[in-house]
């Protein structure tokens, strides 16, 4: 004998697959539907199994109303045929009787409940026929029969009551009671009575079911109650439930299968209650077959469900901020980003012994594909940014994204915009023991492919720190606008106004006597002396490395700063650059040091020399670029050694044109 708890109370069949276990709320819902159906045989108990499809069809409001109408038609078919055709005793007069209720119309009544009109438009008959199909009840059948008999209401001078017309167009209402006892009135055997409160809106219920299906199909995303309300409005032309009512309807629809909670800063996130225990329970209780192939597929599906459930439950999955560069370059972090079950699955598939990098890469690709709108995988965004930096090809990035190995080109652009706004002009990790220098030079870029006009010619700036520093705080993932980028990348333009710009007398302060002893001053002598002794010693490069061990400050870091869209040789542009670097260096607690090439250095020196001693630019240190400094030195040598034969000696090694350029005064005299 079958276990009653494992038998569906609706269809009385065993529940082996696709079933739910009823709780108190589920039993109450089925009992309420049973009373509405006037069916006393369905009496479920708590803990009893029920087929998902049986439960959905049995408790659906539309199905209940449809079944009740069919039962009434079958039960009262004969009586309905006799009572609804009382008007057959005489020909129906459309010109004097309302075709909605069958009673006579007094056209003199222009106001009040008995107000009536003649049919004045041809479209009214089409609208009423369409409403008959929507109602699909006894009253609709009678009215439809009248309209088909009349063929043309306008030509028949048909009349109707306003109240009858309103009741017929409103679903759930019947003939007004004031006309039920009058001669000629239609006698409906199943006339719906208006219940207390607002009548149920079947159209919204249908749209809600469509919204519920959307939630089921998009379970891999973090969908909130508000987003479901917006989706329902999209389905229903801007009309939908409120947030509170949507939450109640979802709990009524899915019962204990969903959880509504706050996840990762998002409120009212709807997720399905799926646990490893329930997945394994469904797998072990599924009916067994003798087909090995089907059993294998069931096992694979259960394993996939367990892995996806762990991906959804991972706490590290967030799209509120991008991973840092340290996280992207860390092998341990990238491996930990992949859930343990997925790691084990991939290790059993890969044949290599050391496949951590591949496991992290393929695993993150699977995690990203499982939750595309929730997860920002480190290797995915890192590869996209790297490909964009090296090749600048949207096609390449989109191809890698389509194959699941990289973030999209749109996401890469969003990352770069957030990085620019997040960093702005800040220098991360700038401290007293870090040397901060600014460098400015002209920037030329051929922008014809962008706007079809001239090339961009402006002032570009960078900041260098020694030793190098790196950003450790993550970059937030926000919707950056052009206004945000403009506010973070704007340099104040300060007009330089001076009657006469000249290079005045420059007085250099006397340097302090620095008596520093170089430990390697006699290193070359020592290295040569010990050579005949044949001791164990390194080569010269090894010796230098041993002497200067642990003294190198490390690789420097370069940070890009905003550009000035002006002619770099303009004094106002140079003046604005000087003020910007002085302000930024002061903000970072460092002495403003700015490097120019020779033409810009000369003009910057003129601007600083014409400033008073208490000006903001008085503390700025201008440095000549190393290449131009060497050019100036060679120009001086060429001037002093002109005619001595030095040029002919150098031409033995370098080309004559190059020697003329090196020993000429080019580079030693500033351009105007």
- Mean predicted lDDT score pLDDT of the chain: 79
Q: CA 94 → CA 73, 113, 122, 140, distances in Å?
A: 27, 20, 15, 17
Is residue 603's pLDDT more than 80? yes
Quick one: pLDDT at residue 503?
Answer: 57
Neighbouring CB atoms inside 10 A of 281's CB total 12
Query: DSSP secondary-structure letter at 7?
Result: B
In this predicted model, what pLDDT tens digit does every residue of 46-56 receive, in sequence order?
888 888 888 88
Q: CA 616 → CA 5, 267, 469, 586, 591, distances in Å?
A: 87, 50, 27, 10, 12
As a whole number of angstroms, the distance between CA 271 and CA 216 comes to: 10
SS3 623: strand
Is residue 359's pLDDT more than 90? yes
As a whole number of angstroms, the distance between CA 631 and CA 665 comes to: 9
pLDDT band, very low/low/confident/very high, at 163 (cuts 50, 70, 90): confident
Is residue 386's pLDDT more than 80? yes
Quick one: pLDDT at residue 399?
Answer: 94
Quick one: pLDDT at residue 156?
Answer: 82
Neighbouring CB atoms inside 10 A of 369's CB total 14
As a whole number of angstroms, the distance between CA 189 and CA 478 comes to: 63
Residues 6+ apart with CB under 8 A from 336: 316
Quick one: pLDDT at residue 243?
Answer: 87
In order, the DSSP letters of 553-590 are ----EEEE---B-S-TTSHHHHHHHHHHHHHHHHHTTS
Percent above pLDDT 90 for the chain = 13
Q: Which two tokens stand for residue 119?
A: 């049919």
| Residue given tokens 């699955």 in the structure block | 345
pLDDT band, very low/low/confident/very high, at 501 (cuts 50, 70, 90): low
Please state which of the ranges 228-232, 328-332, 376-380, 487-491 shows the lowest mean pLDDT.
487-491
As a whole number of angstroms, the distance between CA 425 and CA 65 comes to: 68
pLDDT band, very low/low/confident/very high, at 453 (cuts 50, 70, 90): low
pLDDT band, very low/low/confident/very high, at 395 (cuts 50, 70, 90): very high
Cα 31 to its chain centre, rounded Å, is 44
pLDDT band, very low/low/confident/very high, at 397 (cuts 50, 70, 90): very high
pLDDT band, very low/low/confident/very high, at 195 (cuts 50, 70, 90): very low
Rg for the chain (alpha carbons), in Å? 43
Quick one: pLDDT at residue 425?
Answer: 83
* Residue 92 or 405, more confident: 405
Percent above pLDDT 70 for the chain = 82
As a whole number of angstroms, the distance between CA 340 and CA 149 comes to: 73
Quick one: pLDDT at residue 82?
Answer: 42
In order, the DSSP letters of 78-119 are HHHHHHTTGGGGS---TTTBBTTT-SB--TT--SSTT-EEE-
Tell me if 472 sits within 8 A of 428, measured CB to CB.
Answer: yes
pLDDT band, very low/low/confident/very high, at 231 (cuts 50, 70, 90): confident
Q: Which burial class, exposed, middle or buried, applies to 207 when counting CB atoms under 10 A from its CB (0-12, 13-18, 19+)?
A: buried
């Amino acid at each position: 004998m079958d276990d009653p708890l494992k038998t569906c109370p609706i269809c009385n069949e065993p529940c082996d697959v696709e079933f739910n276990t009823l709780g108190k709320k589920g039993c109450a819902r089925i009992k309420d539907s049973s009373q509405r159906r006037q069916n006393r045989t369905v009496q479920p108990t708590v803990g009893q199994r029920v087929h998902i499809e049986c439960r959905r069809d049995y408790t659906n409001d539309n199905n209940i109303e449809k079944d009740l109408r069919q039962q009434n038609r079958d039960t009262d078919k004969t009586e309905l045929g006799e009572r609804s055709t009382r008007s057959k005793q005489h020909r129906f007069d459309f010109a004097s009787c309302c075709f909605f209720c069958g009673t006579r119309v007094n056209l003199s009544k222009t106001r009040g409940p008995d107000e009536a009109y003649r049919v004045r438009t041809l479209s009214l008959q089409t609208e009423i026929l369409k409403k008959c199909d929507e109602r699909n009840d006894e009253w609709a059948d009678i009215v439809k029969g009248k309209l088909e008999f009349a063929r043309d209401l306008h030509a028949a001078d048909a009349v109707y009551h306003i109240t009858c017309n309103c009741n017929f167009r409103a679903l759930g209402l019947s003939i007004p009671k004031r006309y039920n006892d009058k001669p000629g009135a239609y006698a409906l055997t199943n006339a719906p009575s208006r219940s207390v409160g607002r009548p149920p809106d079947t159209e919204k219920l249908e749209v809600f079911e469509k919204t519920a299906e959307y939630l089921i199909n998009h379970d891999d995303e973090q969908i909130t109650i508000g987003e479901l309300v917006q989706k329902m409005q999209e389905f229903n032309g801007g009309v939908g439930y409120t947030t509170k009512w949507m939450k109640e309807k979802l709990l009524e629809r899915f019962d204990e299968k969903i959880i509504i909670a706050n996840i990762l800063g998002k409120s009212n996130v709807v997720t399905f209650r799926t646990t490893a225990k329930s997945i394994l329970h469904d797998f072990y209780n599924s009916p067994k077959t003798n087909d090995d192939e089907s059993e294998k597929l069931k096992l694979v599906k259960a394993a996939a469900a367990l892995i996806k459930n762990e991906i959804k439950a991972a706490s590290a999955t967030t799209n509120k901020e991008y991973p840092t560069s340290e996280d992207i370059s860390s092998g341990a972090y990238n491996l930990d980003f992949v859930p343990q079950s997925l790691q084990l699955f991939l290790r059993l598939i890969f044949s290599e012994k050391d496949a951590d990098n591949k496991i992290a890469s393929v695993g993150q690709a699977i995690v990203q594909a499982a939750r595309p709108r929730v997860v920002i995988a480190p290797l995915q965004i890192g590869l996209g940014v790297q490909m964009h930096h090296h090749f600048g090809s949207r096609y390449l990035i989109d191809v890698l994204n389509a194959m699941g190995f990289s973030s999209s080109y749109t996401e890469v652009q969003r990352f770069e915009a957030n990085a620019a706004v997040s960093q702005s002009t800040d220098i991360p990790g700038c401290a007293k023991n870090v040397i901060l220098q600014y460098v400015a030079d002209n920037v030329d870029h051929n922008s014809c492919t962008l706007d079809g006009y001239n090339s961009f010619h402006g002032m570009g700036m960078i900041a260098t720190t020694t030793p190098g520093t790196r950003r450790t705080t993550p970059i937030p993932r926000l919707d950056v606008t052009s206004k945000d980028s403009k506010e973070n990348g704007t340099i104040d333009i300060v007009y330089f106004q001076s009657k006469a710009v000249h290079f005045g007398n420059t007085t250099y302060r006397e340097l302090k006597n620095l008596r520093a002893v170089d430990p390697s001053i006699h290193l070359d002598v020592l290295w040569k002396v010990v050579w005949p002794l044949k001791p164990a010693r390194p080569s010269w490069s090894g010796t230098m490395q041993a002497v200067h061990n642990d003294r190198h400050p490390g690789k420097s870091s370069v940070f890009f700063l905003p550009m000035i869209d002006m002619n770099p040789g303009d004094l106002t542009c140079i003046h604005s650059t000087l003020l910007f670097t002085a302000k930024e260096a002061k903000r970072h607690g460092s002495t403003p040091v700015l490097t120019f090439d020779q033409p810009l250095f000369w003009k910057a020196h003129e601007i600083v020399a014409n400033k008073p001693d208490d000006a903001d630019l008085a503390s700025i240190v201008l440095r000549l670029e190393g290449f131009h400094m060497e050019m100036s030195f060679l120009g001086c040598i060429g001037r002093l050694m002109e005619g001595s034969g030095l040029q002919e000696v150098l031409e033995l090694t370098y080309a004559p044109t190059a020697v003329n350029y090196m020993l000429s005064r080019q580079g030693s005299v500033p351009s105007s």
